[in-house]
């Protein structure tokens, strides 16, 4: 099995921004958000279940799911959120396992926003956190998703805390404004994870976890 690095972080912290950069240098990306979006779009069983639960108003004109509306519903109702997570989770898990099994790069990046919430920490060899201030998260998601300040705050309040994320991570990239630095981090972490992956595969060490803690500002 390939060496798995889980990339986690709060909404708008920069997971996609970072994973796109890793992708450019040839790292296989297994993104649970992308997998979930594909399942919602193409899995008819899921599509019908969502339609049955929320009614026809959840559909776009082309009968696809209106994801912005769905997001609004689930962030406003805990039971609906859990219902959707339980519906999607087995399929996401199956597809994630398949993609990881078929990963070909020296190590792979598993982008998993709900790593802590779903207690998946032990499923990765290493945990990389992309961290940014709550203020910056709010600023970014208001701009990207065209939502209000209150909506942004509400979504963030539903997620696990920054402190908790930091406490379980092996490595941290603090994603402030400067995008130039990101490229440096990407190359550094690729070298670092390739090294850990080689060690893991040669089984020179039984535990490549928690040996180092890397924090980049």
Is 14 assigned a ligand-binding role in the annotation? yes
**Rounded Cα distance, 100 and 77, in Å:** 32
The span of 46-54, 77-85, 95-103, 174-182 binding ligand ATP (CB under 6 A) equals 174-182
Nearer CB in complex with ligand ATP: 17/66: 17
The span of 5-13, 55-63, 120-128, 166-174 binding ligand ATP (CB under 6 A) equals 5-13
Beta bridge partners of 127: 6
Residue 160 as a binder of ligand ATP (CB under 6 A): the answer is no
The long-range contacts involving 16-20, CB below 8 angstroms and separated by at least 24 positions, are: 16/111, 17/175, 17/179, 17/182, 18/130, 18/173, 18/175, 18/182, 18/185, 18/186, 19/109, 19/111
**Rounded Cα distance, 4 and 2, in Å:** 6
The span of 11-19, 46-54, 85-93, 191-199 binding ligand ATP (CB under 6 A) equals 11-19
Q: Judge residue 175's burial from the number of C-beta atoms within 10 Å of its C-beta, 0-12 exposed, 13-18 middle, 19 or more buried.
A: buried
CB of 33: closest distance to ligand ATP in angstroms? 6
Is 17 assigned a ligand-binding role in the annotation? yes
Nearer CB in complex with ligand ATP: 179/191: 179
DSSP letters, 164-210, are: HHHHH-SEEEE--S-HHHHHHHHHHHHHHHHHHHHHHHHTS-S--TT
The span of 38-46, 172-180, 197-205, 207-215 binding ligand ATP (CB under 6 A) equals 172-180
Residue 162 as a binder of ligand ATP (CB under 6 A): the answer is no
Residue 113 as a binder of ligand ATP (CB under 6 A): the answer is yes
CB of 20: closest distance to ligand ATP in angstroms? 8
Nearer CB in complex with ligand ATP: 111/196: 111
Is 161 assigned a ligand-binding role in the annotation? no
Rounded to 5 degrees, what are φ and ψ at 190?
A: -65, -45
Beta bridge partners of 130: 173
Nearer CB in complex with ligand ATP: 130/196: 130
Q: Which residues contact 89 (CB under 8 A, 6 or more apart)?
A: 118
Q: Mask 33-62, x = binds ligand ATP (CB under 6 A)? A: x-----------------------------
Residue 154 tokens, joined:
């509400």
Residues that bind ligand ATP (CB under 6 A): 9, 11-17, 33, 113, 140, 144, 175, 177, 179
């Amino acid at each position: 099995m390939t060496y798995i690095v889980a990339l986690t972080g709060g909404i708008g912290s920069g997971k996609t921004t970072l994973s796109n950069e890793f992708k450019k240098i040839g790292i296989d990306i297994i993104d649970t958000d992308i997998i979930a979006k594909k399942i919602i779009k193409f899995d008819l069983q899921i599509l019908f279940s969502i339609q049955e639960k929320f009614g026809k108003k959840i559909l776009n004109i082309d009968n696809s799911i209106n994801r912005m509306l769905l997001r609004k519903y689930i962030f406003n109702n805990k039971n609906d959120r859990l219902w959707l997570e339980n519906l999607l989770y087995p399929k996401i898990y199956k597809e994630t396992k398949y993609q990881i099994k078929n990963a070909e790069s020296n190590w792979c990046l598993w982008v998993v926003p709900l790593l802590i919430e779903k207690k998946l920490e032990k499923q990765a060899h290493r945990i990389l956190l992309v961290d940014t201030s709550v203020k910056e998260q709010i600023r970014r998601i208001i701009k990207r998703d065209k939502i209000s300040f209150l909506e942004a705050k509400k979504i963030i309040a539903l997620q696990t805390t920054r402190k908790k994320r930091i406490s379980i991570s092996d490595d941290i990239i603090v994603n402030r404004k400067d995008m130039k630095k990101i490229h440096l981090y990407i190359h550094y972490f690729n070298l670092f994870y390739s090294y850990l992956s080689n060690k893991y595969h040669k089984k020179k060490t039984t535990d490549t976890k928690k040996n180092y803690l890397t924090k980049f500002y």
